[in-house]
A and B are shown apart, each in its own frame.
Chain A
Amino acid sequence: MVSQSELVKEARENGMDLLPLDKDTYELFFGPQHMATENFSIILKMDGHRVVKAIANPGFLHRGFEKLAELRPWHTNIALLLRICVPEPDVPEAIYSMAVDEIIGWELPERAQWIRTTVLEMARVSAYLFWIMGLSFKLGVYTAGQWAAAYRERLMALFEQLTGARVYHIYTIPGGVRRDIPNDAWLRRLRDTVEYIKGKLPDFDHLVFENYITFRRMEGIGVMDKKFALAEGVTGPNIRATGVPYDVRRADPYLLYPELDFEIPVLEDGDALARALVRRYELEQDLYILEQLLEMGPPDGPYKVQDPKLKNLPRFKVPAGDAFAHVESTKGDFGAYVVSDGRNKPYRVQIRGPSIAHGIRVLEQLLVGARIADVPVILMSLDNCPPDIDR
């Protein structure tokens, strides 16, 4: 049994200048052991309930991917790089594969493009459901969160049937995808799942997005305007909530998106509520895109490039060159810059996660003056994803 006075004495002997820092402020470690931050730490200088100063402290998930990728063959890196964005692991696969395809100059067969687009959209839907779960847990309406996680499980099952894995499906490889769609029953199940989730959206509206208390909680919290957002490199739904209609799927079309019809929801007032509602509308749009893809149906043909280089993957070489590819993830503009020097390993892989812009400077500036109760709401409304900051 150690009494507190002894602890204080010991601390003073060790020279720890104890808090409060100033006359009337104190230091608060928000995370990493906290329910609202998944292994990401914010050091807050608090004055009562108000945040005076915030410092984001990333790096708890750093594994040095960009170094490891230089030591592994091209295709092995797929199994590595997808761990950069845990909620939607298909996005790093896709950007890396697109960059490699561009360096080699491969034209993907249509079936591969269809499968990639479908997988990306499924990943978006599941990531948005996961985000709804997080937001409602932070807001305290646990019912919606539980339901969202349960609906996400249906997509997980579909992923498992398609790729063989629940979360880390190492599926999108340079030159197509790893294996073909199992059968038509999978397509039917996907259609049923899309219909099911579409039918469940009103529940979320009643519980979260149209709730009086949610409006009171999120209105006018963490406001950023267009100029600020552009200067800070904000992308994705966060910048669309400030009135900038920037969506990579439209601005820099890839895969099948030029042929698909969908809207880009844009709201003007860039507060937490606007960001949340933009995500809510985008979930609807993604379900609509999936419906269109299912209407289109997978075109016939090979599901990956017919190339003898793909026979011996460890010796798979890529001509010298570099390429930048980016896709629209639920977090924002997710880009990869790949440099090759003609060997069987990449020379340099740089992954650009959107959260490196959202999670550091934007967060630090939005948190100043917020109440402690708003900190988790602002975090969730920015949809900050620590793994792609740390990489």
Chain B
Amino acid sequence: MVDWRLFEPLFDFARRKSLWIVAFCTGCGGIEMPPLMTSRYDLERFGMMPNPAPRMADLFLITGYVTPKTLKRIIITYEMQPDPKYVMAHGSCPLNGGIYWDAYNAIKHLDRYLPVDVIIAGCMPRPEAVMDGINKIMEMIENGTADGWKRYKENYEYYKKNQDELFGEGWREREARRWIPWLMNRKKEE
């Protein structure tokens, strides 16, 4: 059996140079994704491209504030990604609520529920700032400090406790089953 650790530098280089993004615009910052992807600031130069399927994506861009309803989907999507995976949060809203510091429906500290590798300041961050953050995450991958996916595995109890405190126990099953009665028109009987 080959000892794959020999190839880790090559793998890190490849991971750094081809970050595929999950196509999931979770907030205002999604409006800055098209300029980033298109010919003004061409992110494909760095080998990045938006990917519709979370299964083959590496980088998760939390573009803007996160509401609890979205956070459920974010967590599910994040757990669908294969390791190694990285999370980058846009703007001050995921960091501390930002302008929604007193809003009842915006997450205040995202890193309580997901491990975040890089957070870009600003509301909303300019594309140059996003590219700066991407360079930062590339450096972190190079020197092996982008280990959010490991932290998520190690401290899963902590994250799961916070998630359950926010959403209530068994939220995954509730989300999966919520719409079936309405689709089946079974509401009357229940």
Contact = CB atoms under 8 A, between A and B. Distances in A.
A33 B73 contact: yes
A42 to B, nearest CB: 10
A86 B50 contact: no
B113 interface: no
Interface string B1-37: 0000000000000000000001111111011101101
A16 B124 CA distance: 40
Interface residues of B, number: 43
A14 interface: yes
Contacts of B22: 33
Contact of A21 (B25, B123, B176, B184): B184
Given A14-B173, A27-B179, A39-B26, A153 B69 contact: no
Contacts of B154: none
B40 interface: yes
Nearest to A54: B183
Interface stretch (B100-108, B135-143, B145-153, B160-168): B100-108
B173 A16 contact: yes
A166 B39 CA distance: 17
Given A16-B176, A68-B103, A130 B34 contact: yes
A149 B38 contact: yes
A36 to B, nearest CB: 9
A87 B180 contact: no
B104 A61 contact: no
Counting from the closest, the 9 A-B pairs by CB-CB distance are: A149-B38, A153-B40, A150-B39, A33-B24, A43-B179, A60-B70, A45-B183, A146-B38, A149-B34
Interface of B: 22-28, 30-32, 34-35, 37-40, 50, 52, 54, 65, 67, 69-70, 73, 77, 99-100, 102-106, 123-124, 126, 173, 176-177, 179-180, 182-184
Contact of A149 (B24, B39, B177): B39
Interface string A199-221: 00000000000000000000000
Given A35-B50, A71-B102, A21 B180 contact: yes
A17 B180 contact: yes
A22 B26 contact: no
Interface residues of A, number: 46
Contacts, number: 111
Interface string A48-59: 000001010101
A182 interface: no
A156 interface: yes
The residue in B38, B173, B179, B183 that gathers the most chain A C-beta atoms within 10 A of its C-beta is B183
Given A15-B173, A43-B183, A86-B28, A34 B35 contact: no
25 contacts: A21-B183, A27-B179, A27-B180, A32-B70, A32-B73, A33-B24, A33-B77, A39-B24, A39-B26, A43-B182, A55-B183, A57-B179, A59-B67, A60-B26, A60-B70, A63-B103, A67-B103, A79-B99, A83-B28, A133-B38, A146-B39, A149-B38, A149-B39, A166-B126, A167-B28
Nearest to B38: A149
Contacts of B176: 16
Contacts of A61: 27, 67, 70
The residue in A57, A145, A167 that gathers the most chain B C-beta atoms within 10 A of its C-beta is A167
Interface in A285-319: none
Contact of A63 (B39, B65, B126): B65
A87 B25 CA distance: 13
A43 B183 CA distance: 8
Contacts of A57: 179
B39 A167 contact: no
A168 interface: yes
Contacts of B180: 17, 21, 27
B179 A64 contact: no
Nearest to B185: A53
A164 to B, nearest CB: 12
Contacts of B126: 166
Contacts of B40: 149-150, 153
A244 to B, nearest CB: 30
A64 B179 CA distance: 24
B141 to A, nearest CB: 23
B35 A38 contact: no
B32 A167 contact: yes
Interface string A145-159: 111011011001000
